[in-house]
């Protein structure tokens, strides 16, 4: 039986007390810290760490995720911190469009082992950015080593065939008009991380920051 993205991710979040660390993505922190706060949309927000960090920096932030459980956790944490400027909604990004545009649209690790029209979502997301606003994409540029080990052992078929793009490939896939958009940043970065077995590892990310004119 085919599992839909909504079923997969809701089961993932509902099956654990917490899936992610609760810390914001370092690349988002480094990059967004250079921008003037305004309105922000965080796509695939998960349990809300990035959206909450943006709210604490003065952004009016909407976090969107396909999992109602993840969204509820983000909203509860924002309320616990007294962040009225941060809210969360559950939507399927394959079909959803926001009613307004934003100064910043972010998508951090919007990758899925089940079918997700990621390229289409990101192309549409570019249209949700106001003039002079920014689109920030942070993504895995290579398979995490612990996932690679599981895939090699035949235990992680969902990730084994995933295509990982470089930063420039991410830009090329968007196909944006160069007369309307400028590339402020497109690079690969290495970062240290801790695998699920407690063994340190080095991850490779692609970071893209674009500005609309």
What integer pLDDT is reported at residue 183 of this predicted model?
A: 98
64-87 pLDDT, tens per residue? Answer: 999 999 999 999 999 999 999 999
What integer pLDDT is reported at residue 197 of this predicted model?
A: 77
Give me the residue spans of the domains in the chain.
5-13+22-212
Q: Which residues contact 122 (CB under 8 A, 6 or more apart)?
A: 107, 110, 137, 173, 174
Class of domain 5-13+22-212: alpha beta
Q: Could you tell me the two tokens for 67?
A: 């999992």
Using CA atoms, how far residue 20 sits from 12, 42, 46, 173, in Å, is 11, 16, 8, 28
Residue 115 pLDDT greater than 50, yes or no: yes
* Cβ 103 vs Cβ 134: under 8 Å: yes
Nearest alpha-carbon partner for 104 in 166, 43, 191, 17: 43
Q: Indicate left, alpha or beta for 21 from its phi (over 0: left) and psi (-120 to 50: alpha).
A: alpha
Lowest mean pLDDT among 53-57, 71-75, 112-116, 173-177: 112-116
Helix (H) or strand (E) holding 103: strand 102-108
């Amino acid at each position: 039986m085919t599992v839909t993205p909504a079923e997969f991710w809701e089961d993932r979040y509902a099956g654990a007390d917490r899936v992610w660390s609760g810390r914001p993505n370092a690349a988002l922190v480094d990059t967004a810290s250079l921008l003037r706060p305004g309105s922000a949309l965080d796509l695939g927000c998960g349990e809300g760490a990035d959206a909450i960090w943006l709210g604490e920096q003065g952004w009016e932030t909407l976090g969107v995720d396909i999992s109602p459980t993840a969204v509820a956790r983000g909203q509860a944490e924002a309320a616990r911190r007294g962040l009225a400027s941060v809210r969360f909604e559950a939507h399927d990004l394959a079909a959803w469009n926001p009613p307004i545009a934003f100064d910043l649209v972010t998508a951090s690790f919007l990758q899925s082992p089940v079918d997700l029209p990621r390229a289409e979502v990101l192309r549409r997301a570019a249209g949700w950015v106001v003039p002079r606003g920014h689109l920030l994409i942070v993504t895995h540029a290579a398979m995490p080593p612990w996932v690679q080990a599981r895939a090699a052992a035949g235990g992680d078929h969902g990730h084994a065939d995933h295509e990982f793009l470089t930063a420039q490939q991410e830009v090329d896939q968007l196909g944006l008009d160069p007369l309307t958009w400028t590339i402020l940043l497109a690079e690969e970065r290495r970062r240290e991380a801790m695998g699920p077995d407690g063994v340190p590892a080095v991850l490779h990310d692609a970071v893209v920051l674009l500005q609309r004119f």
